Amino acid sequence: MNWQGVFPALTTKFTADEELDLAAFTHNLQAQLDAGVDGIILGGSLGEASTLSNDEKETLLKTAVDYVDGQVPVLLNIAEGATRDAIRVAERAASLGARGLMLLPPMRYKADERETCAYFKAIAAATDLPIMLYNNPVDYKIEVTLSMFDELVAFPTIQAVKESTRDISNVTRLRNRFGDRIKILCGVDTLAMEELVMGADGWIAGLVCAFPRETVAIYRLVKAGRYDEARAIYRWFMPLLELDIHPKLVQYIKLAEAATGLGTEYVRAPRLMLAGAERERILTIINAGLANRPALPELEELANVG
């Protein structure tokens, strides 16, 4: 696995009656490929993982693997409550063509450090797929600390971290401690440029679902050292990127996808589509961004940067 570049955490597209909308899913997937993303992540928090059945996750994975046809790696998120269930999902993902896994800590139970490490180790030992750990103590209340990584790097399948601690300094701490052994991908849209400048290898992005070319442009410009150009796009993008750090990020980003023609607003209950003043407020932010959408450099000339 080349843990570099932009990896969209894709939303799961639904119809009005809450069934999978594979036509909308592949339409968005094509837009990501056209923009030059470097990988695809399915079934994450933004993908409404907690509302999906295993059969639906497998359908999304098979659809994406077939559609992408090897152009970029497809990763499946694992967010299971039981270790044995997580192992089964990892095994099934490999058989269906996933090229890697994103792994959350145990769900629905606040495991301590020993339990969390045991959970990660058991899955890492049971699969040959490369693993990216999701370190998000803000939302999931479990932090993967440096001392935990000291144990986890013994497993060659554990290769990367989705860095969502909200502490930019953690990029430097990880690099100082582990060098390039652990690849670092920023998992918070509003900190992406800062973490890339500080040496993060990639960006697990959310607003990329609606704005793929702008996201890829920022990544490639930063890696090319063209900071002024990247900063201008990033400043335009910031009001939109802030939609990623709200509890309703799914609804907000899906509204942005609908506005850019890359998706629909439909969500699965208990989430509800936005309504009233809240919807108008978010739509105002989105429309302001669309009205001032910046000109982008030719991304093809930066295709080998990263």
Query: CB count, 10 Å around CB of 175?
Result: 17
Q: Active-site residue among 13, 57, 119, 134?
A: 134
Catalytic status, residue 119: no
Which of 51, 45, 58 lies closest to 14, judged by CA?
51
Residue-wise DSSP of 29-73: HHHHHHHT-S-EEESSTTTTGGG--HHHHHHHHHHHHHHHTTSS-
Backbone angles phi, psi at 88, to 5 degrees: -60, -40
Q: Output b/e per residue, 53-80; b: 16+ Cβ within 10 A.
A: eeebbbbbbebbbebbeeebbbbbbbbb
Catalytic status, residue 219: no
Residue with token string 């930019």: 168
Query: CB count, 10 Å around CB of 168?
Result: 16
Contacts of 226 (CB under 8 A, 6+ apart): 297
Question: 113-126 and 83-95 helices cross at what angle (nearest 10)?
Answer: 30
- Is residue 106 reached through a cis peptide bond, with omega within 30 degrees of 0 on the bond before it? no
Calpha distance 70→91 (Å, rounded)? 20
Asked if 86 and 121 touch (Cβ cutoff 8 Å), the reply is: no
Q: Active-site residue among 162, 183, 223, 254?
A: 162
Joined tokens for residue 283: 């739509």
Calpha distance 37→29 (Å, rounded)? 10
The residues carrying an active-site annotation are 134, 162
